[in-house]
């Protein structure tokens, strides 16, 4: 095993749908998962509770948002300079190398 390495297990691409049909490709499986976790929105599928909330919220004003503080260019430069290149990216998937490259090309972006 050490010479040949560990074989990768295949990723399952089949999924049983609510109508008992089965997906036959990775693309179909991805689409089914997307629709399951992020269903298409229509007002016709709202429950009575959802409709009541919409009526209540429609008459209210959104909360005032606080102004975003301005950062000095030197502050931004310092933070970006200290980013570590070999660290894993955060939840946004953007690592330090990408941030530094964007900053070099377009410093005003940040």
Helices marked H in 1-110: 26-37, 48-58, 73-82, 96-105
As for how many domains the chain has, the answer is 2
In a domain, 6, yes or no: no
Residue-number span of the structural domain to which 55 is assigned: 12-59
In this predicted structure, what is the pLDDT of residue 1? Answer: 45
Same domain, 55 and 78: no
Q: What are the residue ranges in the chain where pLDDT is below 50?
A: 1
**Tens of pLDDT along 76-101?**
999 999 998 888 887 888 888 989 99
In a domain, 1, yes or no: no
Residues 6+ apart with CB under 8 A from 96: 83, 84, 85, 87
In a domain, 42, yes or no: yes
d(CA 40, CA 32): 12
């Amino acid at each position: 095993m050490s010479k040949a390495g560990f074989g990768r297990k295949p990723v399952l691409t089949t999924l049983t749908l609510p109508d008992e049909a089965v997906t036959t490709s990775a693309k179909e499986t991805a689409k089914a998962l997307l629709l399951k976790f992020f269903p298409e929105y229509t007002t016709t599928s709202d429950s009575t509770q959802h409709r009541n909330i919409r009526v209540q919220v429609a008459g209210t004003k959104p909360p005032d948002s606080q102004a975003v503080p301005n950062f000095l260019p030197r502050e931004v430069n310092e933070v970006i300079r200290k980013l570590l290149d070999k660290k894993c990216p955060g939840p946004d998937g953007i690592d330090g190398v990408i941030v530094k490259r964007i900053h070099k090309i377009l410093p005003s972006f940040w």
